[in-house]
């Protein structure tokens, strides 16, 4: 489990947090189970997630940049092609824009992430609750 994976679990409710941490600890042999769980059992902690609506939904990269996101990010996804990759932030956001996979783009481990819900096509900014200051 790397810092980005551990950081992502901090934004989840307690059971999915526990389960995903267990799966991450399995390393590469558990990665298929990680992707399956991402697709089925993710419940974000509402204290640390902010759904992006309206004009904010189209401004994800700019929002991440205002939160000091670097040019590269780490991707955790139910999409096997994206999962576990370090990518340029712009490329990762483009890859998930129309995707039907649940994906976390971790910019600063445990501090700044973007989560794309593939089913609802909703995007969420993930930050520790004390740092949240995003408004429509």
Buried b / exposed e across 70-85, counting CB within 10 Å, b at 16+?
Answer: eeebbbbbbbeebbbe
pLDDT digits (tens, 9 = 90+) for 51-94: 998 878 789 999 999 999 999 999 999 999 999 999 999 999 99
For residue 113, count CB atoms less than 10 angstroms from its CB and return exposed for 0-12, middle for 13-18, buried for 19 or more: buried
Residue of 106, 82, 86, 83 whose CA lies nearest to 28: 83
d(Cα 89, Cα 69) in Å, to the nearest integer? 8
Both tokens of residue 92? 């990762």
The structure's pTM equals 0.90
């Amino acid at each position: 489990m790397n810092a980005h994976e551990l950081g992502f679990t901090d934004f989840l409710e307690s059971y999915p947090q526990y389960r995903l941490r267990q799966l991450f600890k399995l390393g590469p042999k558990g990665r298929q189970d990680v992707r399956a769980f991402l697709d089925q059992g993710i419940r974000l902690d509402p204290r640390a997630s902010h759904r992006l609506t309206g004009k904010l939904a189209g401004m994800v990269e700019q929002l991440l940049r205002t939160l000091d996101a670097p040019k590269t990010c780490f991707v955790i996804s139910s999409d096997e092609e994206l999962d576990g990759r370090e990518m340029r932030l712009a490329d990762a956001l483009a890859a998930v824009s129309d995707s039907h996979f649940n994906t976390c783009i971790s910019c600063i481990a445990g501090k700044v992430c973007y989560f794309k819900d593939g089913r609802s096509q909703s995007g969420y900014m993930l930050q520790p609750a004390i740092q949240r200051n995003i408004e429509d």
